[in-house]
Amino acid sequence: DQHQTRFKRVLLKISGEALMGDQGFGLHPPTVQRIAEEVKSVRDLGVEICMVIGGGNIFRGLQGSAQGMERTTADYMGMLATVMNALAMQSALEELDVHSRVISAIPMDQVCEPYIRRRAVRHLEKKRVCIFAAGTGNPYFTTDTAATLRASEMACEAIFKGTKVDGVYDKDPKKFPDAKRYGDVTYDEVLQKHLGVMDASAIALARDNHLPIIVFSLDEPGGFRGILAGKGTFTRVH
């Protein structure tokens, strides 16, 4: 198979905004469905998949607090937004007969499972996609940090961060045509040069746990599967 991959267990991180398509807000079901198909094609290779989805398409804590809301309350609203996105993804995966579990850092038993590490590991071993929701469960964090935390706990080999561009650039490639893409870059370089891969706490946690971050474009159809097989363009932070 030309799509052989050496990866056995990975975490896919996407922002909430990746689910809103061309709309300015919320969920765009055909876009959610398309990403679910990307996940299925990798699941079909036998790879165990964790997912963390942001909430920025619905609510961001910083936005709320900028408008006068108390920060921690606003952050809890942001965490709840990620649960909605996770449920939408689960429903799209179900449509494709891919088994999954939504696992929340904040228990809400009627809606999804609470996070219990050994139970989540068991789901992965049974090839169920684990969608980790509600971030880390703590205010003042982001879903990038949640992704790094869960990837470490689940012993993932790498975090795959699906974005709108095919890697990490020295400046915004959508604004500057002469922007240069990094093939490889170190965690420290990302931190020193403020390259917008993930926030600093997420990068530092990945560095301390030797967890590579692979930044690729989720806009390319088949992109996730291709990248796992080492094809296409991407940046490896390590």
Contact 47, 5 (CB under 8 A): yes
Closest by alpha carbon to 88, among 9, 138, 14?
14
Q: Which is nearer to ligand UDP, 136 or 235 (CB)?
A: 136
The nearest distance, CB 54 to ligand UDP, in angstroms, is 2
Q: Which is nearer to ligand UDP, 79 or 214 (CB)?
A: 79
Amino acid at 131: I
Q: Which is nearer to ligand UDP, 156 or 229 (CB)?
A: 156
The nearest distance, CB 177 to ligand UDP, in angstroms, is 26
76 annotated ligand binder: no
The nearest distance, CB 119 to ligand UDP, in angstroms, is 20
The nearest distance, CB 53 to ligand UDP, in angstroms, is 7
β-strand partners of 129: 100
Residue 180 CA to chain centroid, in angstroms? Answer: 24
Q: Which is nearer to ligand UDP, 7 or 141 (CB)?
A: 141
**DSSP character string of 3-66:** T--S-SEEEEEE-GGGGSTTSSSS--HHHHHHHHHHHHHHHTTT-EEEEEE--TTT--HHHHHH
58 annotated ligand binder: no
Task: Please count the other Cβ atoms lying within 10 Å of the Cβ belonging to residue 7.
Answer: 20
Q: Which is nearer to ligand UDP, 40 or 60 (CB)?
A: 60
Q: Interface residues with ligand UDP (CB under 6 A)?
A: 15-17, 54-56, 60-62, 75, 78-79, 81-82, 135-136, 138-139, 141-144, 146
Cβ-proximal residues to 33 (8 Å cutoff; 6+ apart), any chain: 92, 95
115 annotated ligand binder: no
227 annotated ligand binder: no
Q: How buried is 153 (Cβ within 10 angstroms: 0-12 exposed, 13-18 middle, 19+ buried)? A: middle
- The two structure tokens encoding residue 232: 């296409």
Q: Which is nearer to ligand UDP, 135 or 226 (CB)?
A: 135
Closest residue by beta carbon to ligand UDP: 54
Instruction: Based on DSSP, count helices (H) and strands (E) in the chain, helices before strands.
Output: 8, 11
162 annotated ligand binder: no
Cβ-proximal residues to 172 (8 Å cutoff; 6+ apart), any chain: 179
The nearest distance, CB 55 to ligand UDP, in angstroms, is 3
60 annotated ligand binder: yes
The nearest distance, CB 14 to ligand UDP, in angstroms, is 7
Q: Which residues are annotated as a binding site?
A: 13-16, 55-56, 60, 75, 136-143, 163, 169, 172
Q: Which residues are annotated as a binding site for UMP?
A: 55, 75, 136-143
